[in-house]
Amino acid sequence: MSKQEIPYKIYLEEHEMPTQWYNVRADMKKKPAPLLNPGTLKPMTFEDLRPVFCDELVKQELDDTTPYIDIPQEIRDFYKMYRPSPLVRAYCLEKKLDTPAKIYYKFEGNNTSGSHKLNSAIAQAYYAKEQGLKGVTTETGAGQWGTALSMACSYLGLDCNVYMVKVSYEQKPFRREVMRTYGASVTPSPSETTQVGKKILAEHPGTTGSLGCAISEAVEAATHKEGYRYVLGSVLSQVLLHQSIIGLESKAAMDKYGIHPDLIIGCAGGGSNLGGLISPFMGEQLRGEANYQFIAVEPASCPSLTRGKYAYDFCDTGMVCPLAKMYTLGSGFIPSANHAGGLRYHGMSSVLSELYDQGLMQAVSVEQTQVFQAAEQFARVEGILPAPESSHAIRVAIDEALKCRETGEEKTILFGLTGTGYFDMVAYEKFHNGDMVDYIPTDEDLKAGFDGIPRFPGNME
């Protein structure tokens, strides 16, 4: 198609928006390994998970056979406030790169949470509300997930308690204030409000916290408080299910204009955005209906897919959560100060890990100075100021488009632009001032991530 025929932004009509989420596990012949109960080492059951997650979400977490799940009307109404998100043709970037490649991105940043996180936050809050719960607890690092959950809870009239990693709480006061605007209570973690928090504070006075520790606190708070449940913004299969809205909309928009992406690229931290983006395309591939190349992009400083182990591991530092089989750097791995906050997780979604292990998806890691170069280049021609996380995908999309310039191939590239960088200007400032450094963990650093983690048969080898 010629430039004239495809608009800069493709918006679906409201009536074209998906009415069901897509569960990619249903089309996987070899399913992702089940979560294990850390006490019994047996697969987690509905009853095991009920004290932690609300019932409907437990069902979704355990369901690896139902391909389509209806999106409740109230969630669909909420989606209409900020969705459909635009599928953008990056005409200006293509021109700047002088590439024959056609570049598209699905932009999820135009809502106040600043990212795709809202897609799952409203779903998780909705089911909690439906179950008659009073509220939910969660952790947040960079703050997008906490903000998204605050927005969803405020809309539904649900109480929202956020454990925010202390260093972020102090360095990102604006994020905190956005959450307060939406009525959430925000506690710096570790805190004195939980046993696990007290223990960590006693052992490490003056610690600035970590995501793994904040998860442990939020889980404890939920399970010890009447009428509360814990919610999580990534990694879980239920989250990938909700995030499939990204891929479903992308696919519907592309189908409308007869566009076939050759290459689909997304950044990967816990995997929620990448999993959501690729799900319906991967489904086609699994069913033998189409062929795509998928690339997961992770930071060189936290390379779970490219340098991790495929093994059962804990999802949190406190070891209170179930065990998940995933590509992991070890739940004891402490990522260096990397500004792409949302990508600093030691593990990766079980679904994506299994797809990667089966060779259905590729993975690359990139260094952050390269990422910020791509971010700035993108901002200057496409107008949007990208989040550092999203910019990992931009980096590889640009690299692939430049390869096409060399080879003359007219590949169609689709990447996920998960969010905006308005609250990441400290990192941009470092980049502008030349103070940003790259960090690649040594093999020794990586080994340390597995220290102190209990071994059990068949794992961690």
Least separation in angstroms between residue 274's CB and a second copy is 24
The Cα 7–Cα 327 span in angstroms is: 39
Least separation in angstroms between residue 113's CB and a second copy is 9
Look at the block and give the residue holding tokens 């997304």: 266
Closest CB to a second copy among 279 and 418? 418
Least separation in angstroms between residue 395's CB and a second copy is 16
Closest CB to a second copy among 26 and 381? 381
The Cα 270–Cα 234 span in angstroms is: 5
Least separation in angstroms between residue 80's CB and a second copy is 4
The Cα 213–Cα 196 span in angstroms is: 8
The four Cα atoms 421, 22, 316, 196 give a dihedral, to 10 degrees, of: 90
Residue 136 parent element (H or E):
strand 135-140
Q: What angle do CA 392, 104, 99 make, to 5 degrees?
A: 85
Closest CB to a second copy among 217 and 382? 382
Closest CA to 150 of 112, 202, 190: 112
Least separation in angstroms between residue 12's CB and a second copy is 10
Residue 436 parent element (H or E):
none
Least separation in angstroms between residue 396's CB and a second copy is 20
Closest CB to a second copy among 151 and 366? 151
The Cα 81–Cα 5 span in angstroms is: 28
Least separation in angstroms between residue 366's CB and a second copy is 19
The Cα 418–Cα 277 span in angstroms is: 10
Closest CB to a second copy among 70 and 429? 429
What are φ and ψ of residue 267, in 5° steps? -80, 155
User: How far, in Å, are 33, 137, 144, 212 from residue 166 at the CA level?
Assistant: 33, 16, 15, 12
Cβ(164)–Cβ(423) below 8 Å = no
Least separation in angstroms between residue 111's CB and a second copy is 6
Closest CB to a second copy among 281 and 378? 378
**Chain positions contacting a second copy, by CB under 8 A:** 7-9, 11, 13-14, 77, 80-82, 91-92, 110-112, 114, 151, 154-155, 173-174, 177-178, 180-183, 376, 379-385, 420, 422-423, 425-426, 428-429, 432
Least separation in angstroms between residue 243's CB and a second copy is 18
Cβ(141)–Cβ(342) below 8 Å = yes
Cβ(417)–Cβ(106) below 8 Å = yes
The Cα 110–Cα 121 span in angstroms is: 15
What are φ and ψ of residue 326, in 5° steps? -160, 165
Closest CB to a second copy among 74 and 262? 74
Closest CA to 344 of 296, 301, 307: 301
Closest CB to a second copy among 173 and 457? 173
Closest CB to a second copy among 296 and 385? 385
